Amino acid sequence: MALKNAMTADFLRSAYGGESMAHMRYIIWGDAAEKDGYPNIARLFKAVAYAEWAHAKNHFNVLKNQVGDNTVAAGAVFGETNIVDNLQGAIDGELHEIEQMYPVYLETAKFQDEKDAQRSFHYALEAEKIHADLFQKAQDKAKQGKDIEADTIYICPVCGFTEIGDNVEKCPVCGVSKDRFKAF
C-alpha cells in the first residue's frame, strides 16, 4: 500500500534514520563492552542492534514507493566513554522513542489512516519498551562491576521483540513462530 500522507512519510524516514543509527551505535558499544570484559552485555548490545535493524527495515519497507533523495532528521546519542555511560545512552535513546517519538508517530499514522506505518511504529514501540528495561538491568549490574547472566537472547526478526532465556512459542507482538527468532 502506498503512503498517502507526507507527514507520516517524514516520520517513517526519521524513524528509519534513528533506528539505523541505534543499530550502528549498539554494535560499537557492544564491541567496547566486549573489550572491557563484559561479554554478555556486549551480546545484549549486539542482539538489540539486530532488533533495531528489524525496525529500520520495516520503516524502509513501508517507504518502498517513496523513491528519491530526502534529508533525514533523526535524534541520536553520540559518544563512547565507559560501559555505564554507554548503557545510559542506550536507556536515554530507548526512553525517547517510548515516551516521545513513537507515540506521536503512531497517533499520526492512525489519524492519517496509514495502516502499514501504524504496524511498523507499533512493532518498534513495543520492542523498545523491552530494550529500555534490559539496558537498565544491564546498567545496574555494570555499576557493580558485574556482567549480566549468560542466557540466550532471542530476537524476533519481524518486530524486534526480545526475550532472554526460554524463548516464547510465538511472538506476543507480531505472532511470528519462535523457530524464526534469531539467537544471540
Task: Kindly compute the dihedral angle of the four CA atoms of residues 73, 49, 163, 172, in this order, to the nearest 10 degrees.
Answer: 40
The domain tally of the chain equals 1
pLDDT tens figures, 24-56: 999 999 999 999 999 999 999 999 999 999 999
The residue ranges of the chain whose pLDDT is under 70 are 1, 71, 75
Instruction: Report the CATH number at residue 117.
Output: 1.20.1260.10
166 assigned to some structural domain: no
Say if 167 falls within a structural domain. Answer: no
Residue 12 lies in domain: 6-148
* Confidence at residue 1, expressed as pLDDT on a 0 to 100 scale: 58
In this prediction, residue 72 carries a pLDDT of 72
Q: Quote the pLDDT of residue 29.
A: 97
Q: Report pTM.
A: 0.93
Structural contact between residues 23 and 56, judged by C-beta atoms closer than 8 angstroms: yes
